[in-house]
């Protein structure tokens, strides 16, 4: 069990719960729009949980329900033991929120935006704001309307990370960020977690989340399809690989050898390359290949999406199927 440490100014209203967020049979339906259905989800204090799903799968609905911007149709949602509906002010005191669509009055400067959208928080320090702005290389004295999409998103990140929040709720936080800023973003998440915060972030791109999150929850059509550790999912996921031997005659030998390795599948050869998929340890594969002169060996990054769908296959008896 994760050790509970409370370092934040709101220790007084953060109860000793192990969970930062607890949703029980949470349902939200409204009009013709799809909401969420019977969502059971626990976010452990101090973890980074990634909510992943296609557009319209219910990620934003879950986050907006947490902040009491919309009310659940049924079920409960607690944040550090506080009800999201009955104690919404206490909940929001513990959270910062970055909406998926960061729209703010364009005539205001970055500083004015920060003042407008965090005046009710007493855990924001000017020194933290300036340090964060400097780190993200964004000029907060410029009008937001004059900033590029990336720089606007930096202002949004300052708004989310400058207050020392217990729970940081980020809806599609990396959209518009270049790779360098994505790395800084990952650092900010890690540092916040190191300081005791919990992070709930969403994305429709699995690869973004797997770099940062400890656990991932896949939402599909408003329901949680699966929740699991990123590490466990990666271990189960299949990785594609290509091998090009220097001697063409070795091609068939390698292909036949790989076909006999238990965790290797879908072996094929064409144009002097053996292509295959593997799961789990690559040790037997490397030992096999070491016997040959290899010109090129590519092992693709494990894709959580594959792992998710493989798991779904488990439940339907179609082990290892890919979409």
CA distances from 223 to 12, 131, 206, 220 (A): 34, 40, 17, 5
- At closest approach, how far in Å is the CB of 156 from other proteins? 9
- Considering the rule CB under 8 A, would residue 152 count as an interface residue with other proteins? no
3-state secondary structure of 279: strand
- Considering the rule CB under 8 A, would residue 115 count as an interface residue with other proteins? yes
Opening angle at CA 87, ends 83 and 93, nearest 5: 110
Binding residue for other proteins (CB under 8 A) from 92, 152, 204, 215? 92
Q: Which residue has the tokens 């890690």?
A: 190
Residue pair 187/199 in contact (Cβ under 8 Å)? The answer is no
- Considering the rule CB under 8 A, would residue 96 count as an interface residue with other proteins? yes
- At closest approach, how far in Å is the CB of 93 from other proteins? 4
Give 2 or 107: the residue with its C-beta nearer to other proteins.
Answer: 107
Window contacting other proteins (CB under 8 A); options: 91-99, 178-186, 294-302, 312-320: 91-99
Window contacting other proteins (CB under 8 A); options: 15-23, 38-46, 104-112, 142-150: 104-112
Give 60 or 174: the residue with its C-beta nearer to other proteins.
Answer: 60
Buried b (16+ CB within 10 A) or exposed e, 154-184: bbbbbbbbbbbbbbbbbbbbbbbbeeebeeb
Give 51 or 233: the residue with its C-beta nearer to other proteins.
Answer: 51
CA distance 159 to 113: 8
- At closest approach, how far in Å is the CB of 137 from other proteins? 23
- At closest approach, how far in Å is the CB of 104 from other proteins? 6
Ranges assigned E (strand) in the chain: 19-30, 33-44, 48-52, 74-79, 82-83, 95-98, 167-171, 198-203, 215-220, 223-229, 238-245, 264-270, 273-279, 294-299
- At closest approach, how far in Å is the CB of 117 from other proteins? 5
- Considering the rule CB under 8 A, would residue 70 count as an interface residue with other proteins? yes
Binding residue for other proteins (CB under 8 A) from 58, 99, 245, 257? 99
């Amino acid at each position: 069990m994760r050790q509970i440490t409370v370092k934040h100014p709101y220790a007084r209203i953060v109860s000793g719960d192990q969970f930062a967020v607890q949703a029980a049979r949470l349902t939200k339906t409204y009009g013709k729009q799809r909401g969420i259905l019977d969502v059971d989800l626990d976010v452990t204090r101090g973890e980074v949980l990634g909510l992943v799903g296609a557009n319209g799968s219910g990620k934003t609905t879950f986050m907006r329900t947490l902040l009491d911007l919309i009310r659940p149709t049924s079920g409960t949602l607690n944040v550090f033991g506080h009800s999201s509906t009955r104690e919404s002010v206490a909940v929001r005191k513990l959270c910062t929120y970055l909406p998926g669509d960061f729209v703010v009055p364009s005539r205001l400067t970055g500083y004015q935006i920060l003042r407008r959208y965090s005046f009710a928080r007493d855990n924001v320090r000017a020194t933290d704001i300036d340090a964060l702005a400097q780190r993200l290389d964004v000029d907060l004295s410029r009008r937001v309307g004059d900033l590029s999409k990336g720089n606007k998103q930096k202002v949004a990140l300052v708004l989310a990370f400058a207050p020392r929040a217990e729970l940081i709720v980020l809806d599609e936080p990396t959209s518009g960020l270049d790779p360098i800023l994505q790395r800084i973003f990952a650092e900010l998440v890690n540092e916040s977690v190191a300081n005791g915060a919990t992070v709930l972030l969403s994305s429709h791109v699995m690869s973004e989340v797997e770099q940062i999150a400890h656990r991932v929850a896949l939402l599909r059509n408003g329901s949680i399809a699966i929740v699991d550790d990123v590490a466990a999912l990666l271990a189960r996921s299949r990785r594609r690989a290509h091998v090009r031997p220097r001697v063409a005659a070795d091609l068939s030998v390698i292909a036949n050898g790989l076909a006999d390795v238990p965790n290797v599948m879908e072996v094929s050869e064409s144009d002097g390359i053996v292509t295959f998929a593997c799961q789990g340890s690559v040790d037997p594969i490397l030992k096999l290949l070491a016997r040959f002169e290899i010109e090129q060996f590519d092992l693709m990054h494990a894709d959580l999406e594959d792992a998710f769908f493989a798991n779904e296959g488990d439940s339907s008896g179609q082990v290892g199927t890919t979409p």
